[in-house]
Amino acid sequence: RTLGLITTDLALHAPSQIASVVKSRTVEQGASVLISMVEQPDRCQAALQELLAQRVEALLVNVPLDDAQAERLASLASPVPILFLDVSGSAQVNSLVFDAEQGARLGAEHVLSLGHRRIALLSGPESSVSARARLTGWKNALAQAGLEPAGEAHGNWSAASGYEKGHQLLAGAKIPEAILVANDQMALGVMRACAEKGIAVPGQISVVGFDDTADSAWFSPPLTTVRQAFREAGERSVEWLLAPTRGEKHWQVQLPVTLVARHSTA
């Protein structure tokens, strides 16, 4: 029995941790995994066809896809079961996703509860559905508190982009009191930029990440972040895909996220 995983860049921490769980859970179930990494969403179709030619019995897709892209892949895969991890809840496909809106709100409410009002946003790439959902969630939470973002930038999920955009957000005369960052890797870069400018975290600025990937507790200071339980997501995905029977209707699960308060916020 073989499961196919189509994934975005495995050099990124979140997708690599998901792939790792998927691999071990599948092997535990006596099956194996074929992994295809795609650089661009438009490469998904070719990856899917290659995996189907290798007779995978189910497919898991962890690539940020718009509704139409996901729905098209699902129809190409049929009747092979296919499950998507990075789509919006409105896509008419099987999906298991984290609640991005809730995660964004938890991060924003955390810094608001600490009394911060000048809050900057470092979002992920505009091409990612999840990045867009987190940004919308932050903006809604700030608007509810009567606030506008005190700066906004987009990175590409890497620490290097967090470093560069962090410097941009810290360039003004009045630095933000908090920065909400769309993932932990970019938060790492932001903290490096703060250190270079002699800005104390959390003394002068609070930094919140998103993911809670395995190393975030080891950043300096240990990162406050929004936890996405990648292990649970990977395990439930494999179980559903390898299950002997599945319902006819779309299976759509939304997993809750939690705030992990460490020492990068005060």
Instruction: Please state, in angstroms and rounded to a whole number, the distance separating the CA atoms of residues 182 and 138.
Output: 10
> How many C-beta atoms surround the C-beta of residue 94 within 10 A?
25
> How many C-beta atoms surround the C-beta of residue 186 within 10 A?
32
The distance of closest approach from Cβ of residue 167 to ligand IPT in the complex, given in angstroms and rounded to an integer, is: 20
Whole-number Cα distances in Å, 13 to 48, 185, 214, 215? 23, 8, 8, 9
Instruction: Please state, in angstroms and rounded to a whole number, the distance separating the CA atoms of residues 2 and 60.
Output: 11
The yes or no reply on residue 70 touching ligand IPT (CB under 6 A) is no
The yes or no reply on residue 95 touching ligand IPT (CB under 6 A) is no
Instruction: Please state, in angstroms and rounded to a whole number, the distance separating the CA atoms of residues 152 and 14.
Output: 23
The yes or no reply on residue 86 touching ligand IPT (CB under 6 A) is yes
Q: Which is nearer to ligand IPT, 26 or 95 (CB)?
A: 95
Q: Which is nearer to ligand IPT, 120 or 226 (CB)?
A: 226
The yes or no reply on residue 64 touching ligand IPT (CB under 6 A) is yes
The yes or no reply on residue 65 touching ligand IPT (CB under 6 A) is no
The yes or no reply on residue 99 touching ligand IPT (CB under 6 A) is no
Whole-number Cα distances in Å, 3 to 96, 178, 215, 247? 16, 42, 28, 19
The yes or no reply on residue 88 touching ligand IPT (CB under 6 A) is no
Q: Which is nearer to ligand IPT, 201 or 210 (CB)?
A: 210
The yes or no reply on residue 156 touching ligand IPT (CB under 6 A) is no
The distance of closest approach from Cβ of residue 19 to ligand IPT in the complex, given in angstroms and rounded to an integer, is: 11
The yes or no reply on residue 161 touching ligand IPT (CB under 6 A) is no
Stretch that binds ligand IPT, among 7-15, 66-74, 111-119, 256-264 (CB under 6 A): 7-15
The yes or no reply on residue 183 touching ligand IPT (CB under 6 A) is yes
Determine the size of the site formed for ligand IPT (CB under 6 A): 14
Bridge-based pairing of strands 225-227 and 258-260 is: antiparallel
DSSP H or E segment with residue 49: helix 44-53
The distance of closest approach from Cβ of residue 248 to ligand IPT in the complex, given in angstroms and rounded to an integer, is: 26
Given the structure tokens 């998103």, which residue do they identify?
Answer: 210
From candidates 3, 5, 14, 208, binder to ligand IPT by CB under 6 A? 14
The yes or no reply on residue 12 touching ligand IPT (CB under 6 A) is yes
CA dihedral 167, 173, 176, 180 (to 10 degrees): -30
The distance of closest approach from Cβ of residue 166 to ligand IPT in the complex, given in angstroms and rounded to an integer, is: 16
Length of the chain counted residue by residue: 266
Whole-number Cα distances in Å, 157 to 12, 65, 143, 212? 8, 16, 25, 14
The yes or no reply on residue 15 touching ligand IPT (CB under 6 A) is yes
> Site residues (CB under 6 A) for ligand IPT?
8, 12, 14-15, 62, 64, 85-86, 128, 130, 157, 183, 210-211
